[in-house]
Structure 1
Amino acid sequence: MSSSKKTAAQTPARDTAGSSGQESDDTAAWTAGRVVIHSARDVASALTHRSGPQKGALAIVILALGGIFMDAYDFSSLAFGITQIKGQFGLDGFMTGLVNAAIFIGAVMGALGGGYLVDRFGRYRLFTADMIFFVIAALGCAFSPNEWWLIFFRIIMGIGVGLDLPVAMAFLAEFSRLRGKGNRSQRVNSWSPAWYGATGIGYLIVLLLFLTLPAAQYGHLWRFVVGFGAVPALVVLIVRRRYLAESPQWLANQGDLVGAVDILRSKYNVDAVLAQKSQLDRAVPAKASAGSFKALFSAHYRVRTLVALAVSVFSTFGYNAVAYGTPLIISSMFKQGPLVTILSALVINFGFGVGGGLVGVGLVTSWGARKLALIGFAVQTVSLLILALLGIPTGALIILAVLMLAMFIFFQAFGPGAQLMAYATLSYPTSLRGVGVGFNQAVLRAFSIVSLIAFPVLAASIGTNVFWIIALAPLLGALSVAVVKWDPTGKDVDAEESYAVAVDAG
């Protein structure tokens, strides 16, 4: 695409005369009115700068958060039951960690493939596929006769999660305006409270079953919790037929300007019309390929990719140990019974996780992703060091220890846990977004496998001293964010001058 074409396409033309059909000259920002679409860049600008109601787009955002809900629920559904699984199947520390980590093995495969597929074949098709994965895997896990079948279906479940996250984040970004209420940064950050809400609901189901099931059935409680995951997946599958639509920016990037205009009109209430055939600029970014992964490390995107990986890896290493290990920490390391364990995990996720996530959504526009991540990492480091100093708490110190776990989760949801998706999603244009999120998630989940296998082994051998090791993760995360100045908040990455060059690297 020539530089003159790129400049002319920075903003869509607006029909100011109404009946005259004359297009206005390009302006520095898009304003309301009839938008004449000449190119894929016009579609991107109309999405970025639009104003007014967006009920259709909001429904799609809610469906995308439904996918996030499924991801979180499936990831955390075994967190409480892993103790029962360990006893039921006679697992040692390594096999216990492997059962936990199996979903991440699948997630690595799903994320690498899903990131590419979502950019190659579209958001809509992949969203349907991953919901089917969730239904099959949830039921398979619930009826697993031994640990190997459980591991197999957890891997299938992980593939679904790996496919879903690039899709969900693309929907959240591409069906949101750049600035103002309901902007991209806020909606991408909203994945965090949705994640902890799903985790909390998982523990709420555990609590209800714990209080109603006969004691003889407690060993199978985990099967009910995991199997329930098929229910919301089926609901999302059914509802998507009415509300879900393909991303108009993705369609435009495939050369389908007619389809993009149709969705702009039906889902965004944008008065968009297609320019005359002679005025169309059909130049589009290169389609997703193996070269797209190379583009993530091109001169323009290299620093963004590396800092996004740092936030993701260091955030997730600590989160896996604390969040997924919360029941193990409270029951085995803090020596508490099952009811206290369930209630503590429920309060930590619903109260502190959802609360921290909502605070982050409210502050990200004014504070930025970088500042929130830096504060979150710093507080997490302090909370883990306090847990390490407390050792096995007794008396009133138990309350302090649980509070430190809660503070860790609050600032995870508020800071790096939310911002890892902001960095991975908003650092790249539409043509690279799926690949960017998928690659980030694949690396993140690979490190998750290590941490989930290592944590039970380390916890069994060194007890609460394991917190000294875990504290290194947020400390390194804070240092990474402090050194690298990139902040994706409010950046119009689709309008960058190097857009066409970068995506053509493949």
Structure 2
Amino acid sequence: MSAQSITIHTKQDIIDYVNRQKNAKRTALLLIIVLGTIFLDAYDLTILGTATDQLTSEFKLSPSYLSFVMTAMPFGAFFGAAIGGFFADRFGRKLILSVSLISLIIGSLGAALSPTPAILLCFRLLMGFAIGMDSPVAFTFVAEISNQKDKGRNVNYWQVVWYIAVVSSALIVMLFYALGTGTLLWRYTVGLGAVFATIILVLRLFYLSESPTWSMKNKTLVQASRELEKNYNINVNIEPYKGENEEFKRTEVKHPLRTLFNKRYRKRTILATAIATLQGMQYYAIGLYIPLIAAYVIGQNKLESLSGTALINIAGIIGGLVGALLTTKFGARRLTITGFSIVAFTMIIIGLFYGHTYTWLIAFMVALFLFGHAGGPGTQGKAIAALSYPTILRGKGTGFVESISRFGSMFGTFVFPIILASFGLNKTMLIIAIFPILGLIITKLIKWEPVGKDLEYEDQYIEKV
């Protein structure tokens, strides 16, 4: 079958094609390649959570030092996200997506071979920096290659990918554990992340072109049309109107932070940042340490706790898929409210009844927690950020939200093992339940729904040079 042919007269035609295009197979391929980093993010963050006993045994780690090691990636991601979005707006999406993966490969190999906890900590910081730099750009790219109707759904598929990675990490740990790797278990599994990263890098280099909407804002009509051609595997005939193909002056936001908090964007930025940060607090406290929780609920047997971890996280895959598919119909804000409500309910139930009711009921509550989180705030916070700004501000906006949200990741990752060791599972759940309750209140108060909106016209309201 021959490739589709279209005619481009102006740069607005590029935006119009992207918003209307129905090239589902090509878009699906690009989504898989771009969201591959989300798989790596989840895999690399959770893989140590499934092997904390081997890690602790080899390096004789205290609960506090274990928290430092586990928090290193979110800490590095804070700085990576802060500059990733900025440079993606400046130099393009594809370059940052490639540089971040190369950094992740180096970090994964270095972490797997680390002879001391301090060196492990340094390479985990590098891994976090790479993930932080890549993630907001990945969300931005997905939003910019998706048609207007499917933007929200496509961005939200990241949560499905996340939980597939979490389940995969548990199964991979089970495989290496069964092979008798002993205390080297965590090294094999962390090193495997470098193999996955290399595969994704190769796919990106072969199949991924620059974002057509970024090119439209930063390149000539001919250059932007060529990027459109490569991404969607179509033939583009260029028939520019007079003056359309002249050299294009780059547009940049003069004061990005001030713009993100001006009258037009303030509530969007606050809502996206609050949801993304609070979902990070609740997930990285509970979801990241499900192997530890499984040991409490199911028992200390390694294979049983890992099997329980894999089964429980299937609820996250289902929740993420449901959330993505319902985004277009119900909107991101309504799904966030529902998700926060489910999460708060499950955490309170576990806090009140763990140790006083059936084990299967507690396990079901943990699964329901993941379902509500994945279909609600876990998915929607990052989607709201990616969908709330026009192209010239999107990289900086998603980068800012992603960067600040990593405080939530760091907080949840660091405090959970300490609180759990001090107060036990019941009180820990009740304490952390404050996060979804606060998220529910904020989302109810701030009324902004980005799904289905075309924001490119807002360039005129943004201060540029």
Normalising by structure 2, what TM-score?
Answer: 0.94
Residues 503 and 188 of structure 1, relative CA distance in 2, 3 Å threshold: farther
Q: Which residue of 2 aligns with 1:207?
A: 174
Q: For the Cα contact (< 8 Å) 1:37–1:261, is it kept in 2?
A: no
Larger Rg belongs to: 1
User: What's the CA shift for 1:279?
Assistant: 4.7
Give the Cα separation in 2 of the matches to 1:162 and 1:37.
38
Give the Cα separation in 1 of the matches to 2:25 and 2:238.
20
Question: Is it true that 1:196 corresponds to 2:163 in the alignment?
Answer: yes
Give the Cα separation in 1 of the matches to 2:65 and 2:439.
29
Question: Is it true that 1:417 corresponds to 2:389 in the alignment?
Answer: no
Residues 267 and 334 of structure 1, relative CA distance in 2, 3 Å threshold: closer
Q: Which residue of 2 aligns with 1:25?
A: none
User: What's the CA shift for 1:191?
Assistant: 0.4
Q: Which residue of 1 aligns with 2:8?
A: 36
Q: For the Cα contact (< 8 Å) 2:8–2:238, is it kept in 1?
A: yes
Question: Is it true that 1:382 corresponds to 2:345 in the alignment?
Answer: yes
Q: Which residue of 2 aligns with 1:14?
A: none
Q: Which residue of 2 aligns with 1:399?
A: 360
Q: Which residue of 1 aligns with 2:17?
A: 46
SS of corresponding position for 2:8: strand
Give the Cα separation in 2 of the matches to 1:283 and 1:499.
16
Matched letter for residue 459 of structure 2:
Y
Question: Is it true that 1:225 corresponds to 2:189 in the alignment?
Answer: yes
Q: Which residue of 2 aligns with 1:483?
A: 445
Q: For the Cα contact (< 8 Å) 1:119–1:288, is it kept in 2?
A: no
Q: Which residue of 1 aligns with 2:251?
A: 286
Give the Cα separation in 2 of the matches to 1:205 and 1:174.
34
Q: For the Cα contact (< 8 Å) 1:56–1:243, is it kept in 2?
A: no
User: What's the CA shift for 1:154?
Assistant: 0.4
User: What's the CA shift for 1:261?
Assistant: 1.0
User: What's the CA shift for 1:454?
Assistant: 1.2
Q: How does 1:318-329 map to 2 (within 5 A)?
A: 318-329=282-293
Give the Cα separation in 2 of the matches to 1:475 and 1:279.
52
Give the Cα separation in 2 of the matches to 1:227 and 1:503.
45
Matched letter for residue 350 of structure 2:
L
Matched letter for residue 195 of structure 1:
W
User: What's the CA shift for 1:37?
Assistant: 3.3
Q: For the Cα contact (< 8 Å) 1:79–1:325, is it kept in 2?
A: yes
Structural RMSD (CA):
2.0
Q: For the Cα contact (< 8 Å) 1:141–1:227, is it kept in 2?
A: yes
Q: Which residue of 1 aligns with 2:49?
A: 79
Give the Cα separation in 2 of the matches to 1:84 and 1:241.
36
Give the Cα separation in 1 of the matches to 2:126 and 2:193.
14
Matched letter for residue 38 of structure 2:
I
Matched letter for residue 116 of structure 2:
N
Normalising by structure 1, what TM-score?
Answer: 0.87
Q: For the Cα contact (< 8 Å) 2:343–2:368, is it kept in 1?
A: yes
Give the Cα separation in 2 of the matches to 1:274 and 1:246.
21
Q: For the Cα contact (< 8 Å) 2:73–2:125, is it kept in 1?
A: yes
Matched letter for residue 403 of structure 1:
F
User: What's the CA shift for 1:335?
Assistant: 4.4
User: What's the CA shift for 1:313?
Assistant: 1.3
Give the Cα separation in 1 of the matches to 2:296 and 2:312.
17
Q: For the Cα contact (< 8 Å) 1:60–1:171, is it kept in 2?
A: no
Per-residue CA deviation, residues 190-245 of structure 1 (Å, 9 max, x unaligned), is: 001001101111111011112222xxx42221111111101111111222222110
User: What's the CA shift for 1:476?
Assistant: 0.9
Q: What are structure 1's unaligned runs of at least 5 residues?
A: 1-31
Matched letter for residue 371 of structure 1:
R
Question: Is it true that 1:309 corresponds to 2:273 in the alignment?
Answer: yes
Q: For the Cα contact (< 8 Å) 1:296–1:305, is it kept in 2?
A: yes
SS of corresponding position for 2:35: helix
User: What's the CA shift for 1:83?
Assistant: 2.5
Matched letter for residue 445 of structure 1:
R
User: What's the CA shift for 1:59?
Assistant: 2.5
User: What's the CA shift for 1:125?
Assistant: 0.6
Identical counterparts, % of pairs: 34
Count of paired positions: 460
Question: Is it true that 1:354 corresponds to 2:317 in the alignment?
Answer: yes
Give the Cα separation in 1 of the matches to 2:138 and 2:281.
22
Shifted more, 189-198 versus 340-349: the winner is: 340-349
Shifted more, 82-91 versus 225-234: the winner is: 82-91
Give the Cα separation in 1 of the matches to 2:40 and 2:207.
18
Q: How does 1:13-24 map to 2 (within 5 A)?
A: none
User: What's the CA shift for 1:84?
Assistant: 2.2
Q: What are structure 2's unaligned runs of at least 5 residues?
A: none
Q: For the Cα contact (< 8 Å) 2:34–2:204, is it kept in 1?
A: no
Question: Is it true that 1:501 corresponds to 2:461 in the alignment?
Answer: yes
Q: Which residue of 1 aligns with 2:303?
A: 339
User: What's the CA shift for 1:286?
Assistant: 2.8
Q: For the Cα contact (< 8 Å) 2:153–2:328, is it kept in 1?
A: yes
Q: Which residue of 2 aligns with 1:4?
A: none
Give the Cα separation in 2 of the matches to 1:281 and 1:312.
41
Question: Is it true that 1:186 corresponds to 2:153 in the alignment?
Answer: yes
Matched letter for residue 396 of structure 2:
V
Q: For the Cα contact (< 8 Å) 2:208–2:231, is it kept in 1?
A: no
Q: For the Cα contact (< 8 Å) 1:261–1:273, is it kept in 2?
A: yes
Give the Cα separation in 1 of the matches to 2:440 and 2:60.
40
Q: For the Cα contact (< 8 Å) 2:74–2:407, is it kept in 1?
A: yes
Matched letter for residue 37 of structure 1:
H
